[in-house]
Amino acid sequence: MNQRTVPDVVVRRLTQYYYALRSCQERGLEIVSSQLLGEMLNVTAAQIRKDLSFFGGFGKQGIGYNVETLLEHVQRILGLKQEWPVALVGLGNLGRALLHYQGFAQEGFKIVAAFDADPRKVGTSAGGLTIHDDKEISQTVPAMGIRIAILALPPDKAQEVAESLVKAGVRALLNYAPVTLKVPEGVWVRQMDPLVALQSMTYYLVGNEAL
């Protein structure tokens, strides 16, 4: 299989399969149909079959998918069977909230290094970690084998920090700064932009009368 051929939208949806299958498992289901998965994900059963066909045929015609087997496959495909060390850059209110978010560690993402440019923060501790200066990214990130970073920075700092992270070996950036980061090919960015999320909902609040 050539992973290049899997559209990013399918990769993103795969995380929904992961949660849906876990919920099936918690409910004690052994087999799940593409119909039920479709209802859980709010897509058609045909879409489910098409999505999963990218990764090989897991289901049996007229029987459905074995929940445990499919969950195992989805976890492996998504890289969720391992622990990922994560760097956090920016220790303002948002950064601190993220540092205390239990969900990361529960799902195998462990924030192991924290960076901030503010000399008043450097050397202090937060969430059990000592805050390091941004300048130490180039040594600490490769030394700890970190390939994932979370940016909780003001917009004007994000691009520069992203570049130093990428140079240090980071390949996946979760960006809270409301800017589009420019990154080389092979580096992935997910944008946590509350503004865009709001702007994509107001569509439904106006009547579009003017159209």
Which residues here bind its own copies, judged by CB under 8 A? 1, 3, 9, 11-12, 14-16, 18-19, 55-56, 76-80, 82, 84, 86, 92-94, 96-98, 100-101, 103-104, 107, 109, 147-148, 150, 171-172, 174, 178, 180, 188, 190, 192, 194-206, 208, 210-211
Local structure of residue 175 (DSSP, 8 states)? E
Give the whole-angstrom CA distance, residue 81 versus residue 74. 10
Closer to its own copies by CB, 32 or 153: give it.
153
- Beta carbon nearer to its own copies, 6 or 45: 6
Q: Which two tokens stand for residue 170?
A: 């980071």
Shortest Cβ 108–its own copies spacing (Å): 9
Using the minimum distance from each CB to its own copies, give the nearer residue, 16 or 138: 16
Please state the closest distance from residue 83 (CB atom) to its own copies, in A: 11
Q: Which residues pair with 151 in a beta bridge?
A: 89, 175
Q: Which amino acid is at 43?
A: V
Which residue type is seen at 140?
A: T
Measured CA to CA, the distance from residue 35 to residue 39 in angstroms comes to 6
Q: What is d(CA 59, CA 23) in angstroms, rounded to the nearest whole number?
A: 18
Q: How far is the CB of 101 from its own copies (least distance, A)?
A: 7
- Of 143 and 197, nearer to its own copies (C-beta) is 197
DSSP notation for 63-92 = TBEEHHHHHHHHHHHHT-SS-EEEEEE--S
Name the minimum Å distance from CB 67 to its own copies.
18
Shortest spacing between CB 152 and its own copies, in angstroms = 8
